[in-house]
Amino acid sequence: MYARIRIKDTVRVPPPRLGESIVDVIKDLLWEQFEGRLDEKYGILIGIEKINDIGEGKIIEGDGAVYFDVDFTAIVFKPVMHEVVEGQVVEVVEFGAFVSIGPLDALLHMSQITDDYMVYDEKNKRLVGKETKRSLTEGDLVRARIVALSLKESDPEKSKIGLTMRQPWLGNLKWIEEEIKKLEGEP
């Protein structure tokens, strides 16, 4: 889920940057330190909204830099177990599909797409239901639930998120729209 959070941290401003606007320098340094970083507590930092407070600068003997305690507001994305998310299919492969859910991609295994048996159509790069003939292709928008979550702070590329669409009102948004029309009695 996306969230707005407050973070307190210490920022080291190197000597060559001390003549610049301290707010601009601290914002730049916060971006360098946090942008795209995965933190198990906060998730992935998407953006720094504002700097709330900059404390008094501290100098450490032997280091020409100045250290500032900073309180700032950030926008983060942190996937949560059992959360319902919407995303876009970015790749269809033999064993399922990868879905972009914000800054991360999640795996939607073919056994978790529908109750129907799914077959991989290699020529058209899509998954097709054997009985229903419903298909899942690159670019489709889907609604799914997070059922597996393993975030690796030390190596974000090895993080794993597993999805399911085998529950009511989850699936390709086109399929959900079809179901709603059926319930409303439309052809």
Q: Which CATH class is domain 84-183?
A: mainly beta
Question: What pLDDT, on the 0 to 100 scale, is given for residue 187?
Answer: 63
* Measured distance CA(58)–CA(16) in Å, rounded: 16
Question: Could you tell me if 9 and 70 are in contact, meaning their C-beta atoms sit under 8 angstroms apart?
Answer: yes
Could you read off the pLDDT of 75-126 as tens digits, one per residue?
Answer: 999 999 999 999 999 999 999 999 999 889 999 999 999 999 999 999 999 9
Q: Which residues of the chain have pLDDT under 50?
A: none
Helix segments in 20-172, DSSP class H: 22-34
User: What's the topology of domain 2-77?
Assistant: Dna Ligase; domain 1 (3.30.1490)
**Judging by DSSP bridges, how do beta strands 58-59 and 38-39 pair with one another?**
unpaired
Domain boundaries, the chain: 2-77, 84-183
Judge whether 2-77 and 84-183 match in fold: no
Question: What pLDDT, on the 0 to 100 scale, is given for residue 78?
Answer: 92
* Measured distance CA(36)–CA(32) in Å, rounded: 9
Question: Could you tell me if 141 and 152 are in contact, meaning their C-beta atoms sit under 8 angstroms apart?
Answer: no
Q: What sign results for the dihedral spanned by CA atoms 146, 147, 152, 158?
A: negative
